[in-house]
Amino acid sequence: LVAFGDSSGKGAAAALYGALVSGMLRSLGTDKIGPADMLKELNEVLMERKVAAQYVTLLSILWNASRREMTIANAGAIPPLLIRRGKISQPLVAGVPLGLLAERDYDETVLHLEVGDVVVLYSDGFQDPKPFTPTIVVGIDAQADKKWKCIQAMPSQFGDKDSWQGRTLPNVPQD
């Protein structure tokens, strides 16, 4: 299970809330439940301990390597990008941030990945144009170098994501 999220606010309050959510995720992560059910349970626990003006956006992703599938549930986060053969798409998966509203259900979507696909998880801070140097790149096949070049080509193009959605990126290596 992969959890990727962002706590609202800045400073110590946001960091402490993020740490609280991280601890809760670790305890729920052993329950062998799907991503949507995990988000629902986590939201219920957070609503029992409501902290004013605090919430968290979170993607919950279950990777099945044998089927090359990612099952994704979303609680207010930006959906991941799927880069396949130089084209970018974004799965439709949405939901309410955790800790805002009680009794929320979350949907799941399944991404079937192919050899050479790249999935990019990012938060709203990444959309602001800044120098970008990822520290971790995980490949699911032998094409990690090609994926790294693709990721390196993308940051300058994030500023206006909607204009290139579904089209080929001009700076992505095609070989």
Mean pLDDT, range 125-151, rounded to an integer: 54
Cα–Cα distance between 104 and 67 in angstroms, integer?
A: 29
Mean pLDDT, range 93-113, rounded to an integer: 93
Are the beta carbons of 102 and 42 closer than 8 angstroms?
no
Which pairs from 22-30 meet CB under 8 Å and 24+ separation?
29/1, 29/3
Q: Which residue has the higher pLDDT, 165 or 9?
A: 9
10 Å Cβ neighbour count for 142? 9
Q: Among 52-61, 141-150, 155-164, whose mean pLDDT is lowest? A: 155-164
Q: What pLDDT, on a 0 to 100 scale, did the predictor assign at position 37?
A: 93
Are the beta carbons of 89 and 81 closer than 8 angstroms?
yes
Percent of the chain with pLDDT over 70: 69
Amino acid identity, position 61: I
Spatial strand order of the sheet with 56-64 comes to: 2-7, 56-64, 69-75, 108-112
Q: What's the predicted TM-score (pTM) here?
A: 0.70
- In this structure, what DSSP letter does residue 49 have? T
Percent of the chain with pLDDT over 90: 30
In the predicted model, is pLDDT for residue 12 greater than 70? yes
Residues 29-75 have pLDDT tens digits of 766 789 999 999 999 999 998 888 889 999 999 999 999 999 999 99
Q: What pLDDT, on a 0 to 100 scale, did the predictor assign at position 136?
A: 52
Q: How far is CA 72 from the centre of its chain?
A: 8
Any idea how long the chain is?
175
Q: Among 3-12, 68-77, 95-104, whose mean pLDDT is lowest? A: 3-12
- Candidates 94, 80, 77, 108; CA nearest to 8 is 77
